[in-house]
Amino acid sequence: MSTGTTKLDVVVSDVVPVNELVTRFHFRRRDGELLPTFSGGAHVVVEMRDGDRTRLNPYSLMGSPLDTREYTISVRRDDVGRGGSLFMHRQVKPGLEMVISYPVNLFSLDLRAKKHLMLAGGIGITPFMAQTSQLAGAGGNFELHYTCRTASLGTYADVLQQRYGNRVRLYHDDREERIDLDRLLSSQPLGTHLYVCGPAGMINWVRDRAAALGWPPETVHFEHFAAPQPGAPFDVELAVSGKTIRVGEQQSLLEAIEAAGVDPPYLCRGGVCGQCETNVISSDGKFIHNDHWLSEEDHRSGCKIMPCVSRFEGKSLVLER
Amino acid sequence: MAAKTIISRPIYGTLSPQPGKHHLFIADAEGALAIIDMAGKAPPGFFDGTEIVFIPGPEGKHIAALEALKPAQLHIAPSFASLLPRLKQTLTNAHMGLRLYLSGTEGLIGQAMQVALEAGMDHTSMQTEHRGSLARRMQCVHCKGITENVTTQPALCAHCGLLLLVRDHYSRRLAAFQGVCINAEDRSEVPPMEEAFP
Ligand code: FES
């Protein structure tokens, strides 16, 4: 398998429904040993063997980095997605043996920061669960602003408020509570770093405002795992391996390449890490880019694609793979 | 231009207008020209949120040109020491999003940067441009005294009077170059003093 994706054999030690949409899963090592250490913001890729299909989805670790007896992830049910979250919700029970990747951190804290300002939207709260534990343990200075649809969907809002009191601020969409972003960003002490995890729209909004208000890009960290979108099937020629493959409606291009026995690099499978970047040799049609890695220029050029999340529509596509 | 070959030496760039609403410029002497050159590229309204702190050179040039940029505030200071309390105050009250622009001599850039870092500012919020004299701020490794505006090689320590070789070894913490006794073995050996950092 690919770079940094060494596997861990685990068993599901607990499954805990958190609210109507979110369920938490606990994993322990099958051999009873401790799991590898990680830092707040890390994720693992969970392999879901569902009949003859294998899905690989990234999930942020949300437990305390100080406790490596188990890993915990929280999965929000997505009824219109490609089925990964439904598989987790319906098929995964305590005692099930699963395989997950080693943790990889693409959203780590910059510990040189004087203060950490965190903005979470919805299920984007999970990496902050681990980061706040890590910072609280080390006496770090942080403040978390968490937007959720309703109080009952404010996953872990109660736990966080209990742990950190007024360092946690909640905003409920149904009560028309909105973060006063410009004010918040304009009132932070020098040396603050900003972290955002949530829906793409929120991330773009926060990044735009931070840039406009003078925050250097190096101080703005974000993570958004784009879920691969289903779409019309399309054919791809893999020039290096000399294969022609078909990407199914519910399959990602990366999954289709893997299913053909080719082993391309990946880390996040969510369009953020850049590992899977692939050169396009020729194309006749339209790219559907869903990643957060390539620049707009790259997207327009049609010379590159991130197969973990992006698709293609048209007559022909030849990749250097 | 300052030599670029020594790793411990800071690398200076060219000022360019950054996004944001608050901009603080600190410049000495010819450093004003870096601000004036940059102003041509600044978007309209840029100087409305700008404070310039300027230490004029001995001829007192460039003040009018800086005034013409119509910054929200222009503060003229006779020396770095005299502007220090005000600078510290400004930085204490400042927030993330403030951009700092330092231009002029190495001594000024180094000292101002040090104050900004101490105030918690991130180095990515700062820009620098070297202009004017190559004069060095030097710390004598023997008595630890700082001598400003060193232009010769070797140079006399203003504190203990030793004749010092001004090394290229630069300390960011002290914002100074290191000066080491050049004739420790035999004080009667006095190498000629040359104008090395005009
Ligand atoms: S695997 Fe990370 S961007 Fe595709």
Q: How far apart are the first and last CA of chain A?
A: 15
Cβ neighbours of A216 in B, within 8 Å: 18, 122, 124-125
* CA A184–ligand 1 middle distance (angstroms): 32
Judged by a CB distance cut-off of 8 A, whether residue B95 touches chain A is yes
The structure's pTM equals 0.86
Q: Is the Cβ atom of A293 under 6 angstroms away from ligand 1?
A: yes
Same domain, B118 and B178: no
Nearest by CB to residue A188, choosing from B19, B20, B96, is B96
Q: Does the distance separating the beta carbons of A212 and B20 come in below 8 Å?
A: yes
At B1 the pLDDT is 43
CA–CA gap between residue A242 and residue A303 (Å, rounded)? 19
Does residue B30 sit in the same domain as residue B125? yes
The two tokens of residue A68 are: 């490596």
Which atom of ligand 1 lies closest to the CA of A306?
4
Judge if B103 and B187 occupy the same domain. no
Picking from B130, B149, B177, the residue at the C-terminal end of a domain is B130
| Chain B residue closest in CA terms to A217 | B124
B93 touches chain A (CB under 8 A): no
- Indicate if B122 and B168 belong to the same structural domain: no
Let me know if residue B101 belongs to a domain. yes
For residues A168-192, b (16+ Cβ closer than 10 Å) or e, as one string?
bebbbeeeeeebebeebbbebbbbb
pLDDT value, residue A5: 52
Compute the distance from residue A180 Cα to the ligand 1 centre, in Å.
Answer: 33
The verdict on residue B10 lying in a domain is no
> According to the model, what pLDDT value does residue A1 have?
43
How far is residue A86's CA from residue A80's CA, in Å, rounded to a whole number? 9
Q: Residue A274 CA: which ligand 1 atom is closest?
A: 3
The residue among B111, B130, B149 that closes a domain is: B130
Q: How far apart are CA B192 and CA A122, in angstroms?
A: 72
Yes or no, beta carbons of B122 and A186 under 8 Å apart: no
Given CB atoms, is B172 within the 8 Å cutoff of chain A? no
| ipTM of the complex in this document | 0.81
β-pairing, B163-171 vs A142-148, is unpaired
- Residues of chain B short of pLDDT 50, as ranges, are 1, 3-4
Which contacts qualify for B160-169: CB closer than 8 Å, 24 or more apart? B163/B190, B163/B191, B164/B138, B164/B140, B166/B136, B166/B138, B166/B196, B166/B197, B168/B3, B168/B6, B168/B8, B168/B9, B169/B6, B169/B8
Pairing of strands B176-181, B136-140: parallel
Residues B92 and B163 occupy one common structural domain: no
Position of tokens 């609210």?
Answer: A19
The C-alpha atoms of residue A62 and residue A131 are separated, in whole angstroms, by: 8
- Tell me the CA–centroid distance for residue A226 and ligand 1, in Å: 10
Residues of A in contact with B99 (CB under 8 A): 214
pLDDT of residue A227: 77
Q: Give pairs for A177-180: CB < 8 Å, separation 24+.
A: A179/A119, A179/A145, A179/A147
Residue A193 and residue A141 in contact, taking contact as beta carbons nearer than 8 Å = no
Position B1 in a domain: no
DSSP A219: G
A308 C-alpha to ligand 1 centroid (Å): 6
Which positions in chain B touch A187 (Cβ < 8 Å)?
95
Terminal C-alpha separation, chain B: 11
Q: Which residues on chain A place their C-beta less than 8 Å from a C-beta of chain B?
A: 114, 185-192, 211-219
Residue B50 lies in a domain: yes
Cβ distance B121 to A190 less than 8 Å, yes or no, reads yes
Alpha helix ranges (H) inside chain A = 84-91, 126-137, 157-164, 181-186, 200-212, 253-259, 296-301
What is the A33 CA–ligand 1 centroid distance (Å)?
30
Domain region containing B32: 22-130
C-alpha distances (whole Å) from A99 to each of A7, A46, A96, A121, B38 are 6, 6, 10, 28, 56
Q: Are B120 and B5 in contact (CB under 8 A)?
A: no
**Is B188 part of a structural domain of the chain?**
yes
- Do A213 and B119 make contact, defined as CB atoms within 8 angstroms? no
Does the beta carbon of A131 sit less than 6 angstroms from any atom of ligand 1?
A: no
Between CA A15 and CA A89 the distance in angstroms is 9
Among B108, B130, B152, the domain boundary falls at B130
Chain A environment of B120 (Cβ under 8 Å): 114, 189-191
Same domain, B41 and B106: yes
Q: Which residues of chain A does B125 touch, with a Cβ-Cβ cutoff of 8 Å?
A: 190, 214, 216, 219
Measured between beta carbons, the chain B residues lying within 8 angstroms of A189 are: 95-96, 120
Alpha-carbon distance of B104 to B32, in angstroms, equals 7
Write the CATH number for B99. 3.40.50.80
Read off the DSSP letter of residue B2: -
pLDDT per residue, tens digit, chain A (321 aa), is 445 458 999 999 999 999 999 999 999 999 999 999 999 999 999 999 988 888 899 999 999 998 999 999 999 999 887 888 999 999 999 999 999 999 999 999 999 999 999 999 999 999 999 999 999 988 899 999 999 999 999 999 999 999 999 999 999 999 999 999 999 999 999 999 999 999 989 999 999 999 999 999 999 999 887 778 889 999 999 999 999 999 999 889 999 999 999 999 998 898 989 999 999 999 999 999 999 899 999 999 999 999 999 999 999 999 999
What is the C-alpha to C-alpha distance for residues B27 and B65, in angstroms, rounded to an integer?
Answer: 13
DSSP state, residue A160: H
- Closest C-alpha to A195, from A244, A136, A124, A261: A124
Distance between CA atoms of residues A66 and B77, nearest Å: 52
Is the distance from CB of A305 to CB of A280 less than 8 angstroms?
yes
Q: Answer yes or no: do B37 and B93 share one domain.
A: yes
Report the residue of B90, B96, B118 to disrupt the A interface, i.e. the one with the largest count of A CBs within 10 Å: B96
Interface test with B, best of A111, A143, A190, A194 (most B CBs within 10 A): A190
Chain B nearest CA to A217, separation (Å) = 8
Closest CB to A216 among B91, B95, B122: B122
Residue ranges of domains in chain A, CATH in brackets: 7-105 (2.40.30.10), 115-223 (3.40.50.80), 234-319 (3.10.20.30)
Q: What is the pLDDT of residues A187-212, one digit of tens each?
A: 999 999 999 999 989 999 999 999 99
Same domain membership, residue B98 and residue B179: no
- Residue B28 placed within a domain: yes
Asked if B123 and B143 sit in the same domain, the reply is no
Domain match, B124 and B182 both = no
Question: Can you tell me the distance from the alpha carbon of A230 to that of A253, in angstroms, rounded to the nearest whole number?
Answer: 10
Q: Whose CA is nearest to atom 3 of ligand 1?
A: A271
The total domain count for chain B is: 2
